Amino acid sequence: MARPPRPSTLNAKLAKNAKKDFSAVLAVFAFFALFLAVPAPRAQVNTTAITIVGGELADGTGAALRRANVRIVNDRIVGAGQDVKPLAGDTVIEAAGLVVAPGFIDIHNHSASELASEPAAASQVAQGITTVVLGPDGGSPWPIGEYLDERRRSPASVNVAVMVGHATVRRLIMRDDYKRTSTDAELARMTALVEQGMREGAVGLSSGLEYEVGGYADTHELVELAKAAARFHGIYMSHIRDEADKSFEALREAIAIGEQARIPVQISHIKLGTVGVWRRAAAAVALIENARKRGVDVTADCYPYNAWSSTITVLVPDKRYDHPPSVEKALADVGGAGNVLIVRHAAHPDYEFKTLDAVARSRGVTPVEQFIQIVRDGGAGVVCTSMVEDDIRAFYRQPWVMVGSDGGIGVRHPRGAGTFPKVLGRYVRDLQWITLPEAIRKMTSMPAERLQLRDRGRIAAGTIADLVLINPSTVIDRSTFSDPTALPIGIEKVFVAGELVWDSGKSVAISPRRSGRVIPTPN
Ligand SMILES: [Zn+2]
């Protein structure tokens, strides 16, 4: 799908930055003047060509595997097929026994702040991820333009796209007085910020309605802000208001926002996270399918784990964290305090990687009392085992559900380092829930289409050479709940824009500049 032009963006920019643009015109003029003065070199000395031979191609569309060579010149794929042969001077990469696929696009990734300190993003490229979509769950870097400029100045190994966070703009306008619905005046100011973020290069609006700041917004506020994102051809991506007993109401709200704002909706990490809704995936699927039949463009992503990771307060939907009956119900809903693993608690690091139940017992208090104390001591990051595999399987089998990690660099949940290899190794090879070409489609062309990235997510002549070479018989995650950052195996090579960034278990940097780009990249 082509991204339509953005005339309003351009006009606004011209009006606002007339002075800046004039100097840009001068710079462009100077650039072309240079071309006139210096004759173009006859041969391109710095062309690099690579041909990957003998692999099985999963081209990203879901088509069956086929034997094909893939030739790359500089940052682009120039051919893929059995008749494609290496030319003299090409670097030849032998891929017999490997699957050659487009690089994975992770539509829900929490590496925004870590990319500055860990631009090699080893835990991400080791999974085959070549593009990360940052700013999910309502929280994004700000200002968007500044963040993207920083990524342009010091690129990472992975490509970067970013969403405008609803809670981020809500907090900017409402400051600490956010525990209420917004006024019309505040909403108008938030709308202006969403527009600003979109103008500066965001690909959509994200919300996190189970969280402190975003959760106080009413549907009207979200519809109005989603309309602003829609004016710039963005999507609305939501960690919906409830992933527990009220999952169905929350799904209905997300669909209504899409319908009223006329915007594509992406349900983040779709799940049924409490005893009361377990094994009701078929009903959730039917709800979404009905919306799709009415013409609402709803899709979802799903991570391959039966445990979520978030803040401990997310457990209590009514947000009465110090009200024992609310906490008691919350813990019962996830199957008990033994299912709640504390992974981060600044006040007592000794609680980390112990269950809430174990901590409570060691201190001689009830799990409810322990929960309340932890919240008083500043809260905690938890991993909560509260989903069933039957539901995960049902979601992955839907053609509109893609793979997303909800992970990122340093995330204390195994999904941060294991999501994509786990789907390929466990769900495709071992359990045969879905075929390999279909799984690859869910990791590549599906998110690319969602984000209107025309030249990524497929292997075809002219697309950008973001590629991954997978050993289908060995690929598997190795990250666990107690060792969440262990790297997977079986992702043999990863290319980003034609440059090798991961090779046989190690990150490599062939060029002094990392090849990840900010996308969408204007052509
Ligand atoms: Zn989330």
CA 20–ligand 1 middle distance (angstroms)? 38
CA 218–ligand 1 middle distance (angstroms)? 18
Contact yes or no for 477/112 (Cβ under 8 A): no
Closest CA to 515 of 465, 459, 461: 465
CA 132–ligand 1 middle distance (angstroms)? 15
CA 108–ligand 1 middle distance (angstroms)? 8
CA 105–ligand 1 middle distance (angstroms)? 17
Question: pLDDT tens digits for 325-338?
Answer: 999 999 999 999 99
Closest CA to 244 of 327, 339, 314: 314
Give the pTM. Answer: 0.87
**Distance, CA of 488 to CA of 479 (rounded, Å):** 7
CA 133–ligand 1 middle distance (angstroms)? 13
Query: Would you state the pLDDT for residue 520?
Result: 82
Amino acid identity for residue 415 in this structure:
R
Contact yes or no for 105/489 (Cβ under 8 A): no
**Distance, CA of 342 to CA of 356 (rounded, Å):** 6
Query: Would you state the pLDDT for residue 10?
Result: 36
**Distance, CA of 457 to CA of 104 (rounded, Å):** 7
CA 238–ligand 1 middle distance (angstroms)? 8
CA 107–ligand 1 middle distance (angstroms)? 12
Which residues are bridge partners to 383 per DSSP?
A: 309, 341
Query: Would you state the pLDDT for residue 504?
Result: 87
CA 343–ligand 1 middle distance (angstroms)? 17
Amino acid identity for residue 279 in this structure:
R
Query: Would you state the pLDDT for residue 445?
Result: 98
Contact yes or no for 405/415 (Cβ under 8 A): yes
Q: Which two tokens stand for residue 107?
A: 């539509």
CA 493–ligand 1 middle distance (angstroms)? 30
CA 390–ligand 1 middle distance (angstroms)? 21
CA 319–ligand 1 middle distance (angstroms)? 17
CA 100–ligand 1 middle distance (angstroms)? 31
Q: Which two tokens stand for residue 383?
A: 């991993």
CA 136–ligand 1 middle distance (angstroms)? 7
Around ion ligand 1, which residues have CB less than 5 A away? 137, 239
CA 130–ligand 1 middle distance (angstroms)? 21
Query: Would you state the pLDDT for residue 436?
Result: 98
Contact yes or no for 102/458 (Cβ under 8 A): yes
CA 155–ligand 1 middle distance (angstroms)? 26
CA 110–ligand 1 middle distance (angstroms)? 10
Q: Token pair 């996270």 is at which residue? A: 273
Which residues are bridge partners to 402 per DSSP?
A: 301
Give 458's DSSP letter. Answer: S
CA 291–ligand 1 middle distance (angstroms)? 22
CA 211–ligand 1 middle distance (angstroms)? 9
CA 89–ligand 1 middle distance (angstroms)? 47
Question: 178 to each of 81, 171, 186, 219, 377, how far by Cα in Å?
Answer: 56, 7, 11, 15, 22
**Distance, CA of 486 to CA of 484 (rounded, Å):** 6
Which residues are bridge partners to 518 per DSSP?
A: 160
Can the peptide bond before residue 143 be classed as cis, meaning omega within 30 degrees of 0?
yes
Stretches where the chain sits below pLDDT 50 are 1-22, 25-26, 31-43, 523
CA 310–ligand 1 middle distance (angstroms)? 8
Pairing of strands 235-239, 66-73: unpaired
CA 269–ligand 1 middle distance (angstroms)? 7
CA 75–ligand 1 middle distance (angstroms)? 33
